[in-house]
Amino acid sequence: MELYNFTIEDARAAIKKGEISPVELSEAVFKRIEAVDSRVHAFITLNKQAALKAAKEISPDTRHGLPGIPVAIKDNICTEGLKTTCASRMLEDFIPPYESTVTKKLKEQGCVLIGKTNLDEFAMGSSTENSAFGHTKNPWDLARVPGGSSGGSAAAVAADMCIAALGSDTGGSIRQPASFSGVVGLKPTYGRVSRYGLVAFASSLDQIGPITKNVKDAAILLNAISGHDLCDSTSANLAVPDFTSVLGRDIKGMKLGIPNEYFREGMDREVEQSVTQAIRHLESLGAIPIEISLPHTGYAVAAYYILATSEASSNLARYDGVKYGLRVEGKDLLDMYMNTREAGFGAEVKRRIILGTYALSSGYYDAYYRKAQQVRTLIKQDFEKAFEKVDVIVTPTAPTPAFKAGEKTDDPLQMYLADIFTISVNLAGVPGISLPCGFTSANLPVGLQMIGKHFDEETILKAAYAYEQSTDWHMKKPDFKEVESKK
């Protein structure tokens, strides 16, 4: 096994035993990036010099929880002294003067931050095609997208260009790319992980989470980044359990909710088959499938794209050319504002700002924004009622496998529908995880989504681990020789 193939668990054990050094591990990862990333384009910025320097300073007998583990960071999470672009011309040369809470915690644990990964601009997209710096390709098929908006992080993990990564999830942006790229992606409960230093898209929906090679690594990384933070007023002041402690426990008798609304006409046939087989497999492990209804699911996409765009309109008003970021001069102040925003934002970001500004405008606030908030409450109540009967809800992560690059770029509505199974989780604020559960006949990964109660990441991790360890989907890796032949 090559060093870059290691999981967090493998690498941590090898470093603590003195079998490999943090420098050797980081060097192996950078060699892998050099060999592969010209084809995948998972990274916007590499941090090689500083990463190797940090790796040299980590002692094998360190008390760090994650000594020398090379981690990639989505490029909308602030890293002090390291460029953070949000894949936008607006922040093309922005270097944050402070560290996000999650990256600070990772550094304190001994992690090595190897670089910043590509994304849809300001995390607005489902394919990582909206980046100002070129789109990321799916390691399983370079003609296809890796999902979005955390496509760079998911592709980097899938292609072994890092040991693990962080992404952000506003409407599925960790779980959907995890599904498309054949890796594990966890969206924690809203408030479980600090958002301080995450560049805001929709503040009531955004959440940072891990993208990893297996479920145990997701639990390990979640341990490292969770916890209350005084710098984030939405951070929950709750004790953080050891998320690895439940892994390996029996799931016999666990009640699995299977929502009618997530198995409808229009879903890809092979996706439906893989997810159905996964549910049967969980049943063979002793879990009990129970048919449930989440009746307001059909309104989720519409409500989300009102609420998310409204918050984006407000959050992105700060990019005006005055304090930081791009500045394009004009004949007066208003002209400078307009020139800066015209040049700095891409088409999808402009579209969402316009939609959100319209929804919040005088005369339309009650008709759109208020009504969407009411629908959000109903969706949250749907989950609360369902969890009175079941322990975990099991669904497909996405209705299709990875689609071809360019396939949906001219049809924004079809692109938005790629997140139809993930959006409700963000509206309700509950945790969700995606893990591999099969492959299509074209050798494209299929993701299984497990959804839990508020602040009950332990149960979905326990169920996900039980499924993963009794199957071998997570062991499969993209073959770059085969991928190249598809070009």
Instruction: Report helix, strand or coil for 393.
Output: strand
Closest by CA to 444, choosing from 402, 480, 396, is 402
Q: One of 26, 127, 173, 274 is an active-site residue; which one?
A: 173
Instruction: Report helix, strand or coil for 101.
Output: helix
Residues 6+ apart with CB under 8 A from 154: 146, 147, 165, 167, 177, 178, 180, 181, 183, 185, 211
DSSP secondary structure letter of residue 5: G
Please tell me the total number of residues recorded for the chain in this structure.
487
Six token digits for residue 264: 């409808």
Instruction: Report helix, strand or coil for 450.
Output: strand
d(CA 101, CA 98): 9
d(CA 442, CA 412): 25
Inter-residue contact 416 to 305 (CB < 8 Å): yes
Closest by CA to 368, choosing from 309, 413, 428, 297, is 309
DSSP assignment of 25-81: HHHHHHHHHHHHHHHH--EEEE-HHHHHHHHHT--TT---SSTT-EEEEETTB-BTT
d(CA 393, CA 219): 19
Confirm whether 137 is a catalytic residue.
no
Q: One of 149, 181, 194, 226 is an active-site residue; which one?
A: 149
Q: Which residues pair with 450 in a beta bridge?
A: 394, 433
Which residue has 């839990």 as its token pair? 452
Which residue has 């929502």 as its token pair? 259
Whether the bond between 149 and the residue before it is cis, its omega within 30 degrees of 0, is yes
Confirm whether 173 is a catalytic residue.
yes
d(CA 163, CA 158): 10
Confirm whether 331 is a catalytic residue.
no
Which residue has 């998911």 as its token pair? 154
Residues acting as catalytic residues? 74, 149, 173
